[in-house]
Structure 1
């Protein structure tokens, strides 16, 4: 069986140890494993055809999502499902999905004019960030109207969220199927490249993490949680994260991909059945 990974450029530009280990395990089980970075090859969209038994979408770039979408329209088997990845890539859509499902998530607003958020920040601190941001880029903590004025012009829609008070560190949950692992580290624009330290997670957080996967239609995913006085809040969700700091991540991911390829897992995109 042929597996093809759609991966992203890494910073620094070195192979992902997690993927290298997963590839080795999968090849040892008889899979042919290949990969490419969409931004580093020249392709004709109209000539793109299904050439592999399964595609694994690791990249979060717009180009990779677009190419995965072309494969999806032809019936490609994609992990995580293309529909799920496409929807979850937008923090605006994710916010709606989580809140509608009863998952604790921050109050959110959207607008094309951030000055309209000044009345909100007078009542509560806000987080303002790109709706399709990744790796912590462009996140702004605003406590005053003047903080909003300091945000540089953005060429993408922004999402405005209440800033949930917490202990000062991110609790990142990495999920592989029904297994969830916690990693804690201070947040920064470069913290995505830092492994963090493994921490135990409560049954409440574990159940919440599984619920997020069900709502979003994901099997390999991560979420950021703030543990507040009001309980845990989910402040971000992303598909196929880096799993930095998770012990034995490579073998677990390889096992899940192997089982998914054999049809042992079913992931449903976050679309109401009545609308299909």
Structure 2
């Protein structure tokens, strides 16, 4: 088979290990950076000489354009362009999650962070709160805000940034990261971006002690969002999991079985089924 990875980081540990295994099994592996050049991304491929599968690790606008072009010409793309694009928009994520009954913090969308200032002083503003860039990308905005003055300071730095405002979920300071590849679940624990535990503190509970309901929630999230390779960040709110982030094809580091699972997914022949989420 011919497997093409759409990425600007072919040396990522997950991709590099999976690629080596594919090559060892005598499959052809190529890499393509969708952000190469200034012309249309479709110029990077030849429609009558497509790979058997494209693994969409890149999430940039050009990568999505290329993925849609490949899909329109019958190529198999994992994850789909529609599902990947959906996971770049935190406002849409929240709306889809709410419609599916997934436990997620209450979310409000603003076209610019400066729009939050007129209501910053109101008691119902609900501090602390999380402020996040609406569009997920490298070096985006993710911050906890505890009072109106902190919100004003943040708005001064990011006045025109489209954002979502979310209720802050009180937690232990640990993110439970569940990564899923073709319904195989891998888990890890990392310090939360905000409210992290003290240096040297150990996570509790251990990953192996996560309730089955948490892994079932991760699997159901993938079904809702039409994802094959993804990550779900969960926080423990009084013993119940809360979804605080969903990532299409994240950088999965650590789980030993992840590269083998990705290889198996790449080599799997697609089965007829319902189309990916397109809203």
Give the secondary-structure state (helix, strand or coil) at the position aligned to 1:110.
strand
Unaligned runs of 5+ in 1: none
Q: CA RMSD in A?
A: 2.6
Which residue does the alignment assign to 2:207?
199
Moved segments of 4+, more than 6 Å: none
* Cα separation, partners in 2 of 1:147 and 1:264, compared to 1, 3 Å: same
Which residue does the alignment assign to 1:21?
17
Matching residue within 113, 116, 125 for 1:114: 116
TM-score (norm. length: structure 1): 0.84
Which residue does the alignment assign to 2:199?
none
The answer to whether structure 1 residue 223 and structure 2 residue 228 are counterparts is no
String of CA shifts for 1:77-97, please: whole Å, max 9, x gaps. Answer: 211111111112111111111
String of CA shifts for 1:65-122, please: whole Å, max 9, x gaps. Answer: 2222232333332111111111121111111111110110010001221224523764
> Number of aligned pairs?
261
Give the secondary-structure state (helix, strand or coil) at the position aligned to 2:35.
helix
The answer to whether structure 1 residue 233 and structure 2 residue 229 are counterparts is no
Which residue does the alignment assign to 1:142?
145
2: CA distance, partners of 1:209 / 1:267 = 20
Which residue does the alignment assign to 1:100?
99
* Cα separation, partners in 2 of 1:174 and 1:120, compared to 1, 3 Å: farther
Unaligned runs of 5+ in 2: 197-201
Q: 1:181: Cα distance to partner?
A: 1.8
The answer to whether structure 1 residue 174 and structure 2 residue 211 are counterparts is no
Higher Cα Rg: structure 1 or 2? 2
* Cα separation, partners in 2 of 1:82 and 1:27, compared to 1, 3 Å: same
2: CA distance, partners of 1:46 / 1:56 = 16
Q: Is contact 2:230–2:246 with CA below 8 Å preserved after alignment?
A: yes
TM-score (norm. length: structure 2): 0.84
* Cα separation, partners in 2 of 1:87 and 1:235, compared to 1, 3 Å: same
Give the secondary-structure state (helix, strand or coil) at the position aligned to 2:109.
strand
2: CA distance, partners of 1:169 / 1:136 = 21
Which residue does the alignment assign to 1:185?
190
2: CA distance, partners of 1:46 / 1:36 = 12
